[in-house]
Structure 1
Amino acid sequence: MKNKGDVFSIPSIIVLGLLNPCKLKTKIMNYIQNLLLIPAFLVFSACSSKADFPVSRVTPAADISAKKSKDGQGNFNLEIVVENLAAVDRLDPPGKNYSVWVVTMEYGVRNVGKLNVKNSKKTTFNTVTPFDFYEVFITVENKGDLEYPVGIEIARTKI
C-alpha cells in the first residue's frame, strides 16, 4: 500500500507488475491502444470536415450540408448535399440559378459553380478548387458566371 510521500520508481512498478502480471499486461495494452488511437484520429480528422448550413429564411424547408476534403494534388473538394430546396424560379423574387461561393483567406470570395435544382428531393453538388476556403455560401442569381455575388443569400456556413 502506498503511503503519503511514497514515490514509485520504474523498477518498483516493474516489480509490482511482476507480482501481478495480468495487471501489467492490461496496463501496457491500454497504453498501446491509446497511442494508436491518437494518430488515427488525427489522420481521419485532417482528411475532411463537414458542416450543416443553418435554416434559411428564404428557403426554410431546405436541409443543406457541406463536406470539404483535400486531395493528393493539394486541391480542395467540396461536396454539397441539398434536400427539399425549391427551384429558383419558384422563389420571390425568382432567379435563374443558385450559385455556390467559397470564402478564402488569400483570394477572397470565389464562385465555384452552379447548384442545379429542379424541385427535387435531393441534389448533390461536387467541385474541385485550388483555393483553401473556410466558408461556403449559396445565393440566388440571374447570371451564372459572376465574379461577385449580387443576389439574395440563401445560406452560409463555416467549414
Structure 2
Amino acid sequence: MKIRVDLIGRNILMLSMLVFLFSACAQKITFLNSAVVPSAEGTITIKKGKNNNYNIDLDVKRLAEPGRLTPPKTVYVVWMETAERGVQNIGQLSTSTSTFSNMLSSSLKTVSPHKPTGFFITAEDDAKGNYPGMTVVLKTGPIDL
C-alpha cells in the first residue's frame, strides 16, 4: 500500500513539473474588451524560440467584417509594439466561418526577432500601411516577457 501511494505522489509531482515547464515556455495574453466591436474576444500566445525569435500566435473570435464598421473599412491589421523598433505592422487578419459554426474567427501566426511589449488591431482601408489608423478595435495591456 505504501509503495502505491509513493508512486502516485511521484507521478503527481512529475505531472506538475511538466505543466509548469510548458506554461513557463509560452505566455498567453488576452485582448481587452472592445468598444468598437464589443463581442470580439482575442488571445495571443507568445513563445520565445531556441533562436531567440518570438513565435506569435493570435486568435480572435466574433470580429465583425470590417465593412460593417462605422465608417466602413476594408481590412484588419495587427500591430506589434516593441521597445527597439516602435510600432510594426505584422500582418492582416481575414475573418472566416467554419463549416460547423457561423461564428467569425481570425488567426495570424508570425515570427519576430523583436521583443513585443504590446499588440493592437486596427481597422484600415489599406493593409500595407506603415502607421496605424485611428480605429483601434482590440488592444492588449502592456506585456512583460
TM-score computed with the length of structure 2 as normaliser: 0.76
**Displacement after TM superposition at 1:45 (Å):** 3.9
Gaps of 5+ in 2: 98-102
Residue in structure 2 matched with residue 79 of structure 1 by the alignment: 57
More helix by share: 1
Show CA shifts across 1:48-92 (max 9, x none). Answer: 111111210000111111111112222111111111110101111
1:62 pairs, out of 40, 59, 62, with: 40
Match of 2:70 among 78, 92, 98: 92
Contact in 1 for aligned 2:54/2:111 (Cα 8 Å)? yes
Tell me the secondary structure at the aligned position of residue 61 of structure 1: coil
- Report which of the two has the higher share of strand: 2
Structure 1 segments, 4+ long, off by >6 Å, are: none
Aligned residues: 128
Alignment partner, residue 140 of structure 1 = 123
Say if 2:29 and 2:44, in contact at 8 Å, map to a contact too.
Answer: yes
Percent of aligned pairs sharing the same letter: 33
Match of 1:154 in 2: 137
2:96 and 2:105 in contact (8 A); partners too: no
CA distance in 1, matches of 2:110, 2:122: 17
The offset of 1:157, in angstroms, is 0.5
1:32-47 equivalence runs, <5 A = 37=17, 41=20, 43-47=21-25
Alignment partner, residue 123 of structure 1: 106
Separation in 1, partners of 2:32, 2:138: 7
Distance 1:44 1:134 in 2: 22
Cα RMSD after superposing both structures: 2.4
The residue type paired with residue 122 of structure 2 is T
Unaligned runs of 5+ in 1: 1-21
Amino acid paired to 2:120 = F
Deviations 1:80-116 (A, max 9, x none): 1111110101111111110100111111111100011
Secondary structure of residue in 2 paired with 1:64: strand
**Greater Rg over alpha carbons, structure:** 1
Secondary structure class of the residue paired with 2:140: strand
Q: Distance in 1 between matches of 2:91 and 2:72?
A: 19
